[in-house]
Chain A
Amino acid sequence: MQILPLVLINLRRHRWRAAIGAAGIAFGVAAMLTIIAIVSGAIGMFQRLLANDSHFLVFERNVSDLFFSSVTSAQVASLRANPRVAAAQPVLFALVSSPGHPMITCFGLEAGDQRLAKARWIAGQPADFGAREGEIFLGERAAGFLAARHGDTVAIGRGTFRVGGVFATENGFEDGGVFLPLKAAQEFFHRGDAASVVSVKLRNSAEAAAFRRDVESALPGVIALENREFNSSYNSFRILNFTAWAVGVCAFCLGGLGVANTMLLSVFTRIRELAVLRVCGFSRGQVAGLIFGEAAALAAAGITAGFALGAVVLFALHRVPQLQGYVRAEVDVSVVLGIAGTAFITAAAGALYPARFASRVQPAEALRYE
């Protein structure tokens, strides 16, 4: 810690230069925090949407995305017939368009689905769902952007439907989606009797392994995954997570270049001072350590500023009506540590060449011309 005054003094005498270096890191931190918060928020919502208080998700084996999964009604019936199963709720996912809205998620549900019971109904009631033909039900946000109210007619895809009800959920995907009875959805999307995924709730959660064996032996075309297994293995989640970190790392690379630039300038403008440190007995390692120390100080300042900036951005995004439910304002400690670690590594990488250069300053050469 005794070296700290030497580290800080140089940053202090070139405040603006140091601030620009730290800003690079700060923007990287803020960008990464925001992207990860949005992606993890979206993933979390999708997980909650699928899980629906269940223990297992059952879907077609070897599909790249749940939108392409088909679980037949016979398979659903087989699941329901399993004595270990308390409830099995099929859901069909599809994408539809409406004038001015090219992509809307459509959910095909059975009338007894828990989602409907748990929603806060703004117009209509759960018992209306599937009671009359030609009716569609809207999430609150979907009703907003479609400018549709209970009883209105809306154009969805190639069809027109009467709005049978509007309800609000805490899930952004559901809130921005449209809902059809499962049979109507299967017919509308030409999916025969298939659902995309079935949420299975067991009578006894301790029987998970036995249930999995039952599915493997009786229904070889589908796979049953516990929710946590699904979260870690579902390709789309992995791609989203990877993309978030990749974009964040790219932002950090720019920050790292900023640090490299700052540190290079810092080294070039005080070659004589570095030479004097060598004369005073500093080893090459100690001189390099000084430069790395400065980079670490820049990173620490940047990380602090970046988290503050990221928090402000997330707070603002959280309040945007269109993003309601999509942005997850809380971030796990592991993510915070990961971002901070990435920032330090980036700063260290940016300081690598300047530190090497500084450690190789030849005192005699630097001091020759006084």
Chain B
Amino acid sequence: MSKPVLASAHRVSKSYDSGRIAVLREVSLSVQAGELVALWGASGSGKSTLLHLLGGLDTPDSGELRVCGLDPTPETNRLALRRHSIGFVFQLHNLIPDLTVEENLRVPALAIGRGLTETRARIATVVEEVGMAPRLKHRIQDLSGGERQRTAICRALMNSPQLLLADEPTGALDELTGTAVFALLKRLAERDGLAVILATHERRFAEACHRIIRVRDGRLDEIAA
């Protein structure tokens, strides 16, 4: 039995500067639960734009998007998806530096109004899974780059998403730390059944994914993994 499709794009285009800069040209893609898919390409190729469109952070000029059964274009759907179905991880962790790991992890729970007891239980689960439990009370500025990125992954997992959108999550890390973060994402896909779309310019990580989709000149080419 095939796994459910959690993210799909059909002939999606996106341009900036009143159409003068075409970033994506009628691209199509489909990602199932449990898949780790690499969007591989150079900087500025449109990887992040595609992630933003799938995550409802931006709207396409044309084409159809479907994420966890919803069109991510209307504001109500976007909000529902961000709250319950999608987790984001960025190259720069984008954590709130003055807060502790625990306080940062509370942010997504605050958004959905989750109770304190339930939030604490969920935090305990995700930090255990990602190996951040000993650093729970530490401030972000006291963490290493790898720990920050793992905290960002914890935050993305807080509301139990089905789809994880990771935009160059290893881009700012050294080789060893990057490898560990990548292994964590792969484990989330293979063990927990999350669909993970990883935007990366690093070939070694792309090749370790289940599928590689090359992003070049605003178009997608699936190449053998």
User: A residues within 8 Å of B by Cβ?
Assistant: 2-3, 5-6, 9, 12-13, 272-273, 276-283, 286, 362-364, 367-368, 370
A6-B107, A9-B99 in contact; A279/B79 too (CB < 8 A)? no
> Top 9 A-B pairs ranked by shortest CB distance?
A281-B111, A281-B83, A364-B58, A364-B57, A364-B52, A280-B108, A363-B57, A276-B94, A281-B82
Q: How far is the CB of A294 from chain B (nearest CB, A)?
A: 14
Inter-chain contact A367/B111, CB cutoff 8 Å: no
Inter-chain contact A281/B159, CB cutoff 8 Å: yes
Cα separation A281 to B108 with both chains bound (whole Å): 6
Cα separation A165 to B21 with both chains bound (whole Å): 95
Specify which chain A residues have a CB less than 8 angstroms from the CB of B57 in the assembled complex: 279, 362-364, 367
Cα separation A298 to B159 with both chains bound (whole Å): 32
Q: How far is the CB of A293 from chain B (nearest CB, A)?
A: 12
Specify which chain A residues have a CB less than 8 angstroms from the CB of B99 in the assembled complex: 5-6, 9
13 pairs, CB–CB < 8 Å, chain A vs chain B: A3-B110, A9-B96, A9-B98, A12-B98, A279-B57, A279-B88, A279-B94, A280-B82, A280-B88, A282-B107, A282-B111, A363-B57, A367-B94
* Interface residues in B, total, Cβ within 8 A: 28
Specify which chain B residues have a CB less than 8 angstroms from the CB of A276 in the assembled complex: 94, 96
- Could you tell me which residues of chain B, from 44 to 98, have a CB within 8 Å of some CB in chain A? 48, 52, 55, 57-58, 79, 82-84, 88, 90-92, 94, 96, 98
Inter-chain contact B112/A281, CB cutoff 8 Å: yes
Q: How far is the CB of B194 from chain A (nearest CB, A)?
A: 17
Q: How far is the CB of A289 from chain B (nearest CB, A)?
A: 11
Specify which chain B residues have a CB less than 8 angstroms from the CB of A273 in the assembled complex: 94, 96
CB closest residue in chain B, given A287: B111
Inter-chain contact B82/A370, CB cutoff 8 Å: no
Cα separation A283 to B106 with both chains bound (whole Å): 16
Q: How far is the CB of B30 from chain A (nearest CB, A)?
A: 22
Q: How far is the CB of A9 from chain B (nearest CB, A)?
A: 5
Specify which chain A residues have a CB less than 8 angstroms from the CB of B92 in the assembled complex: 370
Cα separation A368 to B23 with both chains bound (whole Å): 13
CB closest residue in chain B, given A1: B116
Which of A2, A9, A277, A367 meets B116, CB within 8 Å? Answer: A2
Cα separation A3 to B108 with both chains bound (whole Å): 11
Specify which chain B residues have a CB less than 8 angstroms from the CB of A362 in the assembled complex: 57-58
CB closest residue in chain A, given B82: A281
Inter-chain contact B111/A286, CB cutoff 8 Å: yes
Q: How far is the CB of A213 from chain B (nearest CB, A)?
A: 64
Specify which chain B residues have a CB less than 8 angstroms from the CB of A280 in the assembled complex: 82, 88, 107-108, 111, 155
Cα separation A279 to B174 with both chains bound (whole Å): 26
CB closest residue in chain A, given B53: A364
Q: Is B103 an interface residue (CB 8 A)?
A: yes
CB closest residue in chain A, given B112: A281
CB closest residue in chain B, given A8: B98
Which of A6, A9, A12, A368 meets B110, CB within 8 Å? Answer: A6
Inter-chain contact B48/A2, CB cutoff 8 Å: no
Inter-chain contact A279/B96, CB cutoff 8 Å: no
Specify which chain A residues have a CB less than 8 angstroms from the CB of B94 in the assembled complex: 272-273, 276, 279, 367
Specify which chain A residues have a CB less than 8 angstroms from the CB of B91 in the assembled complex: 370
Q: How far is the CB of A281 from chain B (nearest CB, A)?
A: 3
CB closest residue in chain A, given B99: A9
Specify which chain B residues have a CB less than 8 angstroms from the CB of A279 in the assembled complex: 55, 57, 82, 88, 94
CB closest residue in chain A, given B119: A2
Inter-chain contact A277/B107, CB cutoff 8 Å: yes
Cα separation A2 to B23 with both chains bound (whole Å): 40
Inter-chain contact A2/B90, CB cutoff 8 Å: no
Cα separation A278 to B79 with both chains bound (whole Å): 8
Cα separation A278 to B112 with both chains bound (whole Å): 12
A2-B116, A364-B58, A370-B91 in contact; A281/B98 too (CB < 8 A)? no
CB closest residue in chain B, given A369: B48
Q: How far is the CB of A280 from chain B (nearest CB, A)?
A: 4
Q: How far is the CB of A291 from chain B (nearest CB, A)?
A: 15
Q: How far is the CB of A83 from chain B (nearest CB, A)?
A: 73
Which of B79, B84, B88 meets A283, CB within 8 Å? Answer: B79
Specify which chain B residues have a CB less than 8 angstroms from the CB of A3 in the assembled complex: 110
Specify which chain B residues have a CB less than 8 angstroms from the CB of A278 in the assembled complex: 82
Inter-chain contact A281/B96, CB cutoff 8 Å: no
Specify which chain B residues have a CB less than 8 angstroms from the CB of A5 in the assembled complex: 99, 103, 106
Cα separation A3 to B109 with both chains bound (whole Å): 10
Q: How far is the CB of A152 from chain B (nearest CB, A)?
A: 72
Q: How far is the CB of A136 from chain B (nearest CB, A)?
A: 71
Specify which chain A residues have a CB less than 8 angstroms from the CB of B98 in the assembled complex: 9, 12-13
Q: Beyond A280-B155, A367-B94, A370-B92: 4 further Cβ-contacts under 8 Å?
A: A3-B110, A13-B98, A280-B88, A281-B84
Specify which chain A residues have a CB less than 8 angstroms from the CB of B48 in the assembled complex: 368
CB closest residue in chain A, given B48: A368
CB closest residue in chain A, given B168: A370
Specify which chain A residues have a CB less than 8 angstroms from the CB of B108 in the assembled complex: 280-281
A5-B103, A364-B57, A364-B58 in contact; A370/B90 too (CB < 8 A)? yes
